[in-house]
Structure 1
Amino acid sequence: MKCPALSLVLAICGSAASGGGPCGGFVAAGDEIRAMLDGHPLLAGAALLIGDREGVLHESYYGSYRPSTVVPVASASKLLSGVAILTLADDGLLDLDAPVERYLPEEFASDAVGLKSTMTVRQMFAHISGLPGDETSGVLSDTTITLAEAAAEIACCVPLEDVPGASFAYGGLSMQVGGRVAEVVSGRDWESFFVSAVGGPLGLDSIDYQGLGPTTNPRIAGGAQSNLRDYGRVMAMLLGGGEVDGVRVLGEQTVAEMMMDRTAGLPRRSPPPPGGEDYGYGFGGWVSRVDADGTTVGFTSPGAFGFTPWVDLERGIYGVIMIEGSRQVVLDHLDAIQAAVEAEVDGCASLCPGDLVEPFGVVNFFDIAAYLDRYSAGLMSADLAPPLGSLNFFDVAAYLGRYNAGCR
C-alpha cells in the first residue's frame, strides 16, 4: 500500500475527529477512570499513559489534570531511587553486595553497630536488611536534617529486628541508608545525583524529591514527585531493557536483576500492599507476576496516594496511572483499568499498526486524518519517534511507516 503524498496528508491535518478504536483509543480504560472520579468527587483529576517499545500508545487527562500536572508519587519513589542506585553499580562504583560499613565506615563500624554493619544495598532496596518496616519514623519525616544525619541516626539508634537477609519488612529506613551510600559514592547530594544519573539522560524536568514539601532530608522511598510523561519515560526505559530512544541508563542484565524476586521463601514482618498479597519484591519494586519458569513478567511500584506504574513484559507495554488520592481508591478500579488495557493491546496484536478508526481491519484516509488530528491537538499519543516530548515531522514519518505496513 502506498501512502498519499505528504503534502496531501498535511493538508488534511485537523479535519477529522480522532477515533477511539481498538488500537490506541483505550476507551474502556478511560471509562473506568471516569467512573473512579465520579465515585470520588473530591479528587481533582487523573491521567493515564500507555506505551510500548515503539513509543506512547495513549495519553489522556481527566478533571483538572494536564501534562504539566505534578503530583507526589509516594512509594512509586522506590522504583525511581532503585534505578538511580543501580547506575552506580553499572558504572562499577558500587558493589551492591558489599557491607554498608565499606561505604559508611564511621556510622556503621562493626564494633559499634554489630550485625547492622553487614547490611548490603541490595538488601536495603529489597527490604530484607533486617531494619524495621517503618514508613512513619521521625528520621524519615524530619525535614530539617540532612540525609547524612538521617543515616547516622538510623545507624546509632534504630535496632535491627532480624538478621540481614533473613526476612522481609517493607519500609523506608533501609532505603534512606542506601540513599546516603549513593551520595558518598557519587560525591553529590541526592537531588543532584538523581539528575546526573537519571533525570538528565532521560530529559526529566519534573522529578525531584520535594514531593512532600521542601526538605534537606530527601525521602528516598517516598518523597518524589513527577508529571505523567516523565515517570512514563522511566517505565519506557525499563521496558526497553535499560534503554529508550538510544539513551542507555541501565544494562539489560541489570534491569533483569532489578525485577528478580529477592524475597521468595522469606518470612514477612510487614504486609504487602493491598491487592498484592502474592507479590514478591525486587530492587525498588514489586514483582507482580511471573511466568511458568518463575521469570518476572510484571513489575510495579504503587504509591500510597494512588500513583501506579507498571511494566507488562509479556505484552511488551508499560502503564502509569497518575492520581493524588489514596491507594485504595485506585485499587477498587485497578483490575478493571488494567484488564481493559490488556484486552485492547491483545486485540491490537492481530490488527494493523496504523489502524486508528473505523472501518477496522484496513488502513485508509480516515486513519491518516485521525492521526493528524491527534498530532494537531498536541496529544502525546501522536509522539511516535525521538526526540520524544515534542511533536515534529519525525512523528508524522513514523506514523506513515506504520500506515505503509498495512495489515498483518
Structure 2
Amino acid sequence: MTSSPLAVEKDPAALGFDPARLARIDDHFQRYVDDGRLSGWQAVVTRRGEVVHASEAGLRDAEAGLPVEPDTRWRIYSMTKPITSVAALILWERGLLELTDPISRWLPAFAEPRVYVRGSAVAPLTMPSPEPIRVWHLLTHTAGLTYGFHHAHPVDEMYRAAGFEWGVSSDLDLAGCVDAWAKLPLVHTPGTEWNYSHATDVLGRLVEVVSGQSLDAFFDEEILGPLGMTATAFAADDPSRTAALYARAADGSRVRADAFGASFLAPPTWLSGGGGLVSTAADYHRFTQMLLRGGELDGVRILGSRTVAYMGRNHLPGGGDLTEVGRPLFAEMPFDGVGFGLGLSVVLDPTRYRTLCSAGELAWGGAASTAFWIDPSEEVTALFFTQLMPSSAYPIRSSLRRLVYQALVDEPPRAS
C-alpha cells in the first residue's frame, strides 16, 4: 500500500476513531485483491473535515502491472448523478426554474408523455399521462423513465431495442438522446413510483437548456472549478492514469471489460449527467465535504445550507421508502428503511436497513462498485473506488459501513 495525498494529518483518536480498528478496512479489502475479486481499490474516511484514514491497494491495471496510486482516475458512473442534481439546484436557487415546473417548458419533446398500460415491447398499450413530468420527478427518479439494462419491464426492452442499454449505440448527442427517450412510453405515471432511470441524464439536458451552456461547461464554471476538482471530467484527463474496468463473469472470475470502459478515455458523443464522469478520490472528497458543510468549502459556496438540508429530506411519494414505492431491481443492499432525496439516497431507519449507519445518511454509488456516503450526525464521510461491474457483485458498501462505524468509538451523538 502507498501513501495518499489525502493524508492523515491529525490523530484519528482525537476525532473519535480507533486507529487499529480503522486498519481493519485495509485488511478486509486486501483479501479482495489477494483472492482476485478486485484488481485494486482506494478508500478514504473523514470526520469533521479531517481525513482519518486513506489507503489504496492492488493494481489499477492488472494486465499491465500498474499499481493503484493516490491520483488514479476512476469511472464513477452514477456518482455523477449528485453532481448533476447540484447543478439543477443551483439554477433553482437562482429562480430560473421551479421544482414543480413541467419539463416540457424547456424540453418540448416531453409535452405529451404516454404511460405503459399492458402488452409486449413490440405491441404495447399506452395511455396519455395524467400528470406531466416535473423537475422534481427527474431529481427523485419518479418520472417514469427507465434504463434498458434493468431487464425488468417491457419498456426496458423498448429502450434496448432503441439502442439504450449500457450506452448509446449511435452518434446521438445529449439532445438527441432526450428526444429519443421522450418517444418511448413511461413505466408509470410521474410522481407515483420510484424507478432508477435516465432521469438524471434528462436533468442534465435541462441544465443545458436553462443555463444556455453545455453540461461540461456548466459543471466546470459552477461546481468543479470553484471546488478545485481539476481531474473530474467527462473524459479522463490522463488515460494512462485511469484504472482498467473489469466485470465479474458468471463463474465468479474477474474479466477485463475494455469495451465498456473505452468511452471514458476520449471526449464522448453525449454528456451523461447520469453516469459519465471520471474522477479521483481527492476530487470527490471535496464534493462530499461541500455537502457535509452545508454547501460551502474553503470559502466557496455552491449551494445554500437550507438547500442542502432540503436535498437530504425524503421526497418519495407518501414519505415511503424505496421498498414501498420502488420497483424491484438489482441492488447491492436492500432498500428497506431508505428513502430518496433530490439526487441522493437518504437513510430513514437504520434498523430496517439492517446496516450500521445513521438516520439521515446521504449516499449513492456507481455501476463499477464505487460508493460514497455522508453522515451529517456523525460528521463522517467515506469514499470507496474500484472498477468492477456490476456493483452488486460483492457486499462492498455494507462491509465498508460496518468497518468504518465499528472503528468509531467515542460517545455517539444523542438522537434529536
Query: What TM-score, normalized to structure 1?
Result: 0.72
Q: Match of 2:46?
A: 51
Q: Match of 1:122?
A: 136
The structure with the largest strand share of the pair is 2
Q: Which runs of 5+ in 1 are unaligned?
A: 1-17, 351-408
347 and 186 in structure 1: CA distance in 2 versus 1, 3 angstrom threshold: same
19 and 186 in structure 1: CA distance in 2 versus 1, 3 angstrom threshold: closer
Computing the radius of gyration over CA atoms, which structure comes out larger, 1 or 2? Answer: 1
Distance in 1 separating the partners of 2:11 and 2:291 = 29
1:291-302 pair list within 5 angstroms = 297-302=360-365
Cα deviation for residue 272 of structure 1 reads 6.0
Distance in 2 separating the partners of 1:255 and 1:77 = 17
Cα deviation for residue 147 of structure 1 reads 0.8
286 and 111 in structure 1: CA distance in 2 versus 1, 3 angstrom threshold: closer
Distance in 1 separating the partners of 2:332 and 2:398 = 12
Q: Which amino acid aligns with 1:280?
A: G
Q: Match of 1:94?
A: 97
247 and 76 in structure 1: CA distance in 2 versus 1, 3 angstrom threshold: same
Distance in 1 separating the partners of 2:363 and 2:144 = 23
1:259–1:285: 8 Å Cα contact kept in structure 2? yes
1:73–1:307: 8 Å Cα contact kept in structure 2? yes
The reply to whether residue 75 of structure 1 matches residue 78 of structure 2 is: yes
Q: What do residues 187-225 of structure 1 show as CA deviations (whole Å, max 9, x unaligned)?
A: 111111111121011011121223751412122212211
Cα deviation for residue 276 of structure 1 reads 3.0
310 and 150 in structure 1: CA distance in 2 versus 1, 3 angstrom threshold: same
2:330–2:392: 8 Å Cα contact kept in structure 1? no
The reply to whether residue 261 of structure 1 matches residue 324 of structure 2 is: no
Distance in 1 separating the partners of 2:276 and 2:113 = 33
The reply to whether residue 146 of structure 1 matches residue 146 of structure 2 is: no
Distance in 1 separating the partners of 2:378 and 2:329 = 29
Q: What do residues 142-175 of structure 1 show as CA deviations (whole Å, max 9, x unaligned)?
A: 46211111111122x2111221101111122x22
Q: Match of 1:354?
A: none
- Find the partner of 2:106 among 103, 106, 110: 103
Cα deviation for residue 331 of structure 1 reads 4.1
What secondary structure is seen at the aligned counterpart in 1 of 2:205? helix
Query: What TM-score, normalized to structure 2?
Result: 0.71
1:262–1:282: 8 Å Cα contact kept in structure 2? yes
Aligned length: 327
2:194–2:326: 8 Å Cα contact kept in structure 1? yes
The structure with the largest helix share of the pair is 1
Q: Match of 1:248?
A: 301
99 and 320 in structure 1: CA distance in 2 versus 1, 3 angstrom threshold: same
The reply to whether residue 34 of structure 1 matches residue 30 of structure 2 is: yes
What secondary structure is seen at the aligned counterpart in 1 of 2:287? helix
Q: Match of 1:179?
A: 204
Q: What do residues 294-323 of structure 1 show as CA deviations (whole Å, max 9, x unaligned)?
A: x95211111121101111122111010011
Distance in 1 separating the partners of 2:173 and 2:130 = 21
- Find the partner of 2:146 among 100, 124, 132: 132
What secondary structure is seen at the aligned counterpart in 1 of 2:282? helix
2:378–2:412: 8 Å Cα contact kept in structure 1? no
Distance in 2 separating the partners of 1:126 and 1:112 = 19
Cα deviation for residue 135 of structure 1 reads 4.6
220 and 117 in structure 1: CA distance in 2 versus 1, 3 angstrom threshold: farther
Distance in 1 separating the partners of 2:392 and 2:332 = 11
What secondary structure is seen at the aligned counterpart in 2 of 1:125? helix
346 and 312 in structure 1: CA distance in 2 versus 1, 3 angstrom threshold: farther
193 and 169 in structure 1: CA distance in 2 versus 1, 3 angstrom threshold: same
Q: Match of 2:332?
A: 274
1:103–1:181: 8 Å Cα contact kept in structure 2? yes
229 and 44 in structure 1: CA distance in 2 versus 1, 3 angstrom threshold: same
Q: Which amino acid aligns with 2:209?
A: V
What secondary structure is seen at the aligned counterpart in 2 of 1:319? strand
